[in-house]
Amino acid sequence: MADSNPTPRVSVHQALGGGTVADVLLWREWCSGVVMLTLSTMVWYLFERAGYNFLSFMANVLSLLVAIFFFWAKSASLLNRSLPPLPNLEISENTVVIITDELHQWINHTLSIAHNIAIARDLKFFLKVAVSLWLVSYIGSLVEFLTLVYIGVILSLSVPVVYDKYQHFIDEKLCVTRRFIQTQYRKIDEMVLRKLPLPSNGGYPLHS
């Protein structure tokens, strides 16, 4: 019997946080989206197609900015005009705490993965990690890192918009695909993984 009160779908805008980032990715702030797409395309072309060196590029850009602000400040003092509108160039303590917390969670998650593989000897988990790393390595051998980042930018500016427009249709196809993958995984688990001899812990205690 179908549920008479189905769970309401969460909009794509809410799933993306509902803020400025969501507006940009869904092209509600089209000007910011155009700027992001243009800048990423320029950076990709400079370093991947034109062969420009990243270190030289950053040094030249910083040199140009320093020269502009220096002569601006000099002319402002001579002509009695306002100084360059530079923001307060410092990192707040709150920002440092947020970055530290995120790094702490990421390191603990990585260590838990290593623990499950090396100590708990979780074969299924090891195979998942091995396949994931192999896919990352294979994709990395096909394209350069900057090209991969550029593809990620293009996808982030296109996939949310398409999904927001065709959410119901895509969800149905994803459910079918998910059920198919789960079925195939159960078959592999029953026919292969459960028949593999799993080594014992060898007397090593498992620490929580």
Question: How high is the pLDDT of residue 85?
Answer: 67
Sorted by sequence, the CB contacts under 8 Å of residue 117 that are 6+ apart come out as: 125, 126, 129
**Do residues 207 and 119 touch, judged by C-beta distance below 8 A?**
yes
Question: How high is the pLDDT of residue 196?
Answer: 65
Question: How high is the pLDDT of residue 12?
Answer: 80
| Structure token pair of residue 135 | 């896919």
Question: How high is the pLDDT of residue 38?
Answer: 92
> Can you tell me the distance from the alpha carbon of 23 to that of 40, in angstroms, rounded to the nearest whole number?
18
| Structure token pair of residue 156 | 């982030």
Q: Where are the alpha helices (DSSP H) in the chain?
A: 12-15, 20-25, 30-44, 54-79, 93-118, 123-142, 145-156, 159-165, 167-191
* Inter-CA distances, 10 with 15, 113, 191, Å: 7, 31, 38
Q: What is the pLDDT along the chain (208 residues), one digit of tens a residue?
A: 444 455 556 678 787 777 788 888 888 888 888 988 999 999 888 888 887 887 888 888 889 988 888 888 778 777 777 766 666 666 778 878 888 888 888 888 888 877 777 666 667 777 778 888 888 888 878 878 888 889 989 999 899 889 888 888 888 888 999 899 888 888 887 777 666 665 555 444 444 4
